[in-house]
Amino acid sequence: MAQRVFVKVLGFSSAERHALNTLFRLSEQRETVYSLWEPQAPELPRLALVDGRSEAARQDSGPTDKSLKLIWIGSVAPASSWRSFERPLFWPKVIKAMDELFASPDSLDLDLGLDLDFAGDGPDTLPPGPLQEAAAPPRALIASGNRDQRLYLRARLALAELTQVDEAQTGAQALEMARAHAYCVALVDFGLPDVDGWTLLKALHAARPAIAHVIATKSSPSLVERVRARLGGASVLLGDPPQPATLRNALEKVGRQRRSHGGVMVARSPG
C-alpha cells in the first residue's frame, strides 16, 4: 500500500520548484508518494525542504516539531538539518535522500523513470567550471501535443540539469519559440497535430538562433527514417516513447558539448 509524505517547501526559484513538482507528480506511480504540503492538506508535513538563500525561508525554518525532518539547500546548514546539499542543485539526489528516510527497503530500487541512482556516489556539487560560470542558464524546448509526454520529457530534462524549459503543443508554437529564444536542445515529437514532422524538422534546422541539438521522437521509426532525420538536422530520432536510458545518453551528449564550449552551445553545420 502506498504511503503519502507531505513536504513543506520553503523558498527556491520558479524553475527549481517546477522541476521538484514534476518529480513529485512522477512519484504518484511509486510506493512512496511525495506531495507539496499546503495549510489545507489532510496531514502535517513530515519533511521540510528549505532554500538557504531565502530570508523568508530561513525565518520560517526556525523552531518546528522535532519529528519534522529538515533538508537544507545551500551553505551554512543549521545543526537541526538531517541532510544538506550545496548548489548547483540536482533534485534526483535530494529525492534519493528522501527515499532513504521514508521508503521501505523493498521499494528503494524501483525504476519508474526517475533514475534516482543516476547521480551515483559522487559529490553533491559539480566541480567549478564553465557550466557554473555561464551567464545564463541553458534553455530547452519541448514540442509535443501529448501532456503526459511533455511531463515525462520535462522530468528527463530536469535529471540532466536542464530546468529552463518551454513547452509547445503545436508546430506553429514551436517555431515561434525557436525564433524568439536560444535553445541548447529541442525535444520534438513527430505527432504534432498541425504540421508534418519532416517539415517541422527542416524548419527548426533552419531557424535562427540555431538550435544546437534537436532530438526527435516518432512511433516505431525505421532505419531509413533515422538516417533521414540525421540528414535533416536532427541529432537523433528515437522511438516514441523514448527508452529512458537512450534518452539519457542523448541528453548526456548535450551536456558534454555544453561544458566543452564553456556553457555556450554551438550549433552543428548544416548537412
Contact 36, 21 (CB under 8 A): yes
Query: Rounded to the nearest 5 degrees, what angle is found at the Cα of 216, between the Cα atoms of 211 and 220?
Result: 170
Query: Is residue 89 classed as helix, strand or coil in its secondary structure?
Result: coil
Burial of 83 (0-12, 13-18, 19+ CB in 10 A): middle
Domain boundaries, the chain: 3-107, 131-260
| Fold (topology level) of 3-107 | Rossmann fold (3.40.50)
Burial of 249 (0-12, 13-18, 19+ CB in 10 A): exposed
Give the CATH number of domain 131-260. Answer: 3.40.50.2300
Q: Give Cβ neighbours of residue 138 (< 8 Å, ≥ 6 apart).
A: 162, 164, 184, 185, 258, 263, 265
CATH fold match for the domains 3-107 and 131-260: yes
pTM for the full predicted model: 0.51
Q: Calculate the alpha carbon distances from 123 to 16, 105, 198, 211, 253 in Å.
A: 20, 24, 42, 31, 21
* 83-85 sheet: strands from edge to edge: 32-36, 3-10, 47-51, 69-73, 83-85
pLDDT in tens, the chain (271 residues): 678 999 999 999 888 888 788 778 877 767 888 999 999 999 999 999 999 888 776 666 554 566 789 999 988 888 888 999 988 777 777 888 888 888 765 444 333 333 333 333 333 333 333 333 334 678 899 999 998 889 889 888 888 888 889 999 999 999 999 999 999 999 999 999 899 999 999 999 888 888 989 999 999 888 888 888 888 889 899 998 888 888 888 888 887 776 665 544 444 433 3
Tell me what pLDDT residue 241 has: 84
Contact 192, 200 (CB under 8 A): yes
The closest of 205, 201, 227 to 216, measured between CA atoms, is 201
Interaxial angle between packed helices 147-159 and 91-102, expressed in degrees from 0 to 180 and rounded to the nearest 10: 100
CA distance 27 to 13: 21
CA distance 238 to 256: 20
C-alpha cell of 70? 529538515
Tell me what pLDDT residue 59 has: 66
